[in-house]
Every structure is written in structure tokens, then in C-alpha cells.
Amino acid sequence: MTDNLPSSIRLRVVSPRKLLVDEEVQEVSLPSLEGYVGILPGHRFLFLALGKGKITYRMAGREEGVSVQGGYAEVLPDKVLVLTESTEDETQQSAEG
């Protein structure tokens, strides 16, 4: 391993309606089509399709998450960009309204 690894990852989760997450995090878990994938700072490049599930991320000693219905994620050593069509909250709001 090298000493030049980043200590955090910039996580951005974007839906067509709004920016859901834009945070510096220490760890991310993504619901891929084949199971959950853990991402730490310095991860190699990865592009993957997401399934229905919950993106969880850890920052400053606490864990948070956002549920998604699918989408895509681009992983780089210092950032993760998630593009999702909808979240469970947006789907529920559409059904109610």
C-alpha cells in the first residue's frame, strides 16, 4: 500500500429531482445487482449498476443512508458518484400525490 491514499471519499448521490447526498465520508456501501459492494478511500476505478437497496455511508463516527430503486455508480479513488432515477421517498411521494 502507498502513503498517498486519500483519507476520505466525496460521495454524491444525484436523482433527477435533487442532490440527495454531497458529503466527505470514510466508507460507502452500494447495493449492486450482485450484492453489496464496500468502498473505502483509494478504491480502484469501478463502474457498476445498482439494484434496489440502501446506500449506507459512514462519516464522523455515525452511519447514514439513502434508499434507491436502482441506477449507476462511478467509483474513483477519491470520489463516488451515484446516479439514480428515484429513491423510495420520491416513489412514495408520487403515489401519494
**Which residues does residue 43 pair with via DSSP β-bridges, in sequence order?**
none
Cβ count near 15 (within 10 Å): 19
Range 50-60 average pLDDT: 94
Binned at pLDDT 50, 70 and 90, residue 1 comes out as very low
Binned at pLDDT 50, 70 and 90, residue 3 comes out as low
Please give the angle made by the CA atoms of 82, 28 and 43, to the nearest 5 degrees.
Answer: 90
pTM of the model: 0.84
pLDDT at residue 92 greater than cutoff 90: no
Residue-range domains of the chain with CATH: 9-96 (2.60.15.10)
